[in-house]
Amino acid sequence: MVKNYTDLLKCDQECLWHPYTSMTTPLPSYLVEDADGVYLHLATGEKIIDGMSSWWSVVHGYNNAFINDAMKAQIDKFSHVMFGGLTHEPAVKLANTLIDITPVGLDKVFLADSGSVAVEVSIKMALQYQHSLGKADKNKLLTIKNGYHGDTFAAMSVCDPVNGMHSLFSGFISENYFADAPSIGFDDDWVDSAANSAIKSLKQQFKDNHQHIAALILEPIVQGAGGMRFYHPQYLRACRALCDQYEILLIADEIATGFGRSGKLFACEHANISPDILCLGKALTGGYLSLAATLCTTKVATTISKGEAGVFMHGPTFMGNPLACATANASLELLFKNDWQAQVRAIEQQLKTELLPIKQHKNIADVRVLGAIAVIEAKYKVNMAIIQQKFVEMGVWIRPFGKLIYIMPPFVISTAELKTLTQALANIVDCDEVFNKI
Ligand code: PMP
């Protein structure tokens, strides 16, 4: 029987897998007892500011009364019913809202249970679409290097082959086509020479392999877990144009960027394009429950429905979970009530003012800010155990990976709370001991 927090942590280490963690030499975990607003309350007594929004999701902060009330109201009605043959108001309302707010043309909604599953669904849609058109040979995907789309197998097959360790799963993981990552940054000049080199490899892939490509899948504007890079909107426009030219579907994975994070409600809006298929997740429920959605055009949906199967071949047990849908409806209502645009604009301004000067630091290679995302790219990999402990001592929760120390705070963060986060970042770059310099 587990008694206190040291017992809990011991038991945790002995029997629980954590994300990307060894079972024999696990990194330490911190025990959360409570959370509210932007604060995590640790069992050891510290109250720390969450700079990660629990991996892009908790945009309204923890324990929000409006979302809690909506969840309780739904629990008191029903938490779950199967979606086969049954439907309910929370799902219908959510589908309507998503169709209204997402880029034009995305009219059909598939509700999935997590981001990775939404990506699986998008890939399956693309393959069934091409199959229905009699193009069964178009059964591969094109993507760009440094991408990240989730941890299930089809999603992994379009993650960066090196970062995603494809070699570990060779023989099982599907082989797809990879163009070079866009080399042109969000604010760079889109001059011909730079544009040509950024787009060259992509054009070549389309030219050489279009007969076999069902869809181009990418994260619009922000390449997240694969490197935290922001690329030029014109590149995304070029992707759209190439997809149209070669009759290949465009899948936009906005699981991380969706719902305001990049400064636009959806990152596709930076380039003023609509994808054929769109994946959403993470902040969809304000980070309260796992829910994701894959939207597609009427053309994709009707083509699939007229194909050999006559149906779309997917239907998970918890599809359209009413509690998760009601939570998403409350979170989306709050997003607009809170004026997300003003919140994100203020965060972006403060991040730029307080963090861009760090670019000159001897340990730092680059600092990038877009919307409510700030990335400090160090010259060296960080020592996770040391840096994590130092951040906790400074009263913040920031979880770097590799050379990347980054934050994407909840939209409700105050100026003073955000200052605590940026100050912690400014302090950490001075700590030589957090960097593995050899
Ligand atoms: N796509 C992107 C762009 C992501 O950032 C993530 C999660 N980090 C996923 C897909 C997978 O989502 P989930 O972790 O909910 O399966």
Architecture of the structural domain at 69-337? 3-Layer(aba) Sandwich (3.40)
Terminal Cα-to-Cα distance of the chain (whole angstroms) = 44
Q: Which residue is catalytic, options 113, 160, 253, 276?
A: 253
pLDDT given at position 84: 98
Other Cβ atoms within 10 Å of 353 Cβ, number: 11
Q: Pick from 305, 227, 284: which is nearest to 94 by CA?
A: 284
Ligand 1 pocket test: which of 58, 255, 285, 406 has the largest number of ligand atoms within 8 Å of its C-beta?
A: 255
Note the pLDDT tens digit of each residue in 34-64. Answer: 999 999 999 999 999 999 999 999 999 999 9
pLDDT given at position 177: 98
Note the pLDDT tens digit of each residue in 223-263. Answer: 998 889 999 999 999 999 999 999 999 999 999 999 999 99
pLDDT given at position 343: 98
Going from the Cα of 93 to the center of ligand 1, the distance in angstroms, rounded, reads 24
pLDDT given at position 298: 98
372 CB-contact burial (10 Å; exposed 0-12 / middle 13-18 / buried 19+):
buried
Q: Which residue is catalytic, options 108, 282, 390, 403?
A: 282
In the chain, domain spans: 31-60+339-436, 69-337
pLDDT given at position 218: 98
Average pLDDT over residues 288-303: 98
Ligand 1 pocket test: which of 56, 58, 149 has the largest number of ligand atoms within 8 Å of its C-beta?
A: 149
Q: Which two tokens stand for residue 405?
A: 């120390």
Residue 85 has pLDDT above 90, yes or no: yes
Going from the Cα of 380 to the center of ligand 1, the distance in angstroms, rounded, reads 25
Q: Which residue is catalytic, options 62, 129, 148, 235?
A: 148
Q: Pick from 146, 136, 233: which is nearest to 186 by CA?
A: 233
**CB 377 within 8 Å of CB 365:** yes
Residue 5 pLDDT level (bands cut at 50, 70, 90)? confident
Residue 145 has pLDDT above 60, yes or no: yes
Residue 1 has pLDDT above 80, yes or no: no
Q: What is the distance between the alpha carbons of residues 351 and 341, in angstroms, rounded to a whole number?
A: 15
Query: Distance from CA of residue 199 to its chain's centroid?
Result: 24
Average pLDDT over residues 104-128: 98
Going from the Cα of 284 to the center of ligand 1, the distance in angstroms, rounded, reads 12
Is 231 designated active site? no
Average pLDDT over residues 136-156: 97
Query: Which residue's C-alpha comes closest to atom 15 of ligand 1?
Result: 115
CATH of 31-60+339-436, one of 3.40.50.720, 3.90.1150.10, 3.40.50.10490, 1.10.150.390: 3.90.1150.10
As for ligand 1, residues whose beta carbon falls within 6 Å of it are: 114-116, 119, 148-150, 219, 224-225, 253, 255-256, 281
Of all atoms in ligand 1, which is nearest to the CA of residue 119?
Answer: 10
Q: Average pLDDT over the chain, rounded to whole?
A: 96
Average pLDDT over residues 68-81: 98
Average pLDDT over residues 276-298: 98
Is 406 designated active site? no
Residue 2 has pLDDT above 80, yes or no: no
DSSP label at residue 54: H
Residue 195 pLDDT level (bands cut at 50, 70, 90)? confident
Average pLDDT over residues 373-395: 96
Q: Pick from 333, 431, 306, 414: which is nearest to 378 by CA?
A: 431
Residue 196 pLDDT level (bands cut at 50, 70, 90)? confident
Is 282 designated active site? yes
Give residues with Cβ within 8 angstroms of 196, minimum separation 6: none
Residue 3 has pLDDT above 70, yes or no: no
- Categorise residue 140: left if φ over 0, alpha if ψ from -120 to 50, beta otherwise: beta
Average pLDDT over residues 413-438: 95
